[in-house]
């Protein structure tokens, strides 16, 4: 009977160890993936308004613009 209790106890210990390792691995993974950096802001070459780079339009002669109209007008 005592062997059965010992076996259960060992099983419980193994379970705790397994859960602890899983938690540690999850923590490590969380640290390895920092949150995405904030997006770069660019200024419109025409009016100077700041907007995220992904929302800006690139001019034919370079530069970044806030709208199609300002892109057409070109840099100020
Ligand atoms: Zn603009």
Tell how far the Cα of 37 is from the centroid of ligand 1, in angstroms: 25
Q: Provide the 8-state DSSP code for 54.
A: G
Contact 53, 42 (CB under 8 A): yes
Q: If you average pLDDT over residues 69-76, what whole number do you get?
A: 92
The fraction of the chain above a pLDDT of 90, given in percent, is 49
Ligand 1 midpoint to CA 52 (Å): 13
Torsion, Cα 5 10 11 12, to 10 degrees, reads 90
**First-last CA distance in the chain:** 89
Residues 64 and 56: beta-carbon distance below 8 Å: yes
Q: Is pLDDT of 73 > 90?
A: yes
Task: Identify whether the C-beta of residue 43 lies closer than 8 Å to the C-beta of residue 33.
Answer: no
> Per-domain residue ranges for the chain?
1-35, 41-73
Mean pLDDT value across residues 53-68: 94
Its pTM surpasses 0.85: no
Q: Is the pLDDT of residue 43 over 90?
A: yes
């Amino acid at each position: 009977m005592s062997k059965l209790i010992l076996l259960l106890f060992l099983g419980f210990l193994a379970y705790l160890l397994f859960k602890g390792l899983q938690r540690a691995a999850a923590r490590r993974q969380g640290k390895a993936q920092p949150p995405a950096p904030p997006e770069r802001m660019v200024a419109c070459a025409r009016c100077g308004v700041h907007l995220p780079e992904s929302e800006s339009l690139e001019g034919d002669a370079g530069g970044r613009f806030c709208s199609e109209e300002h892109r057409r007008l070109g840099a100020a």
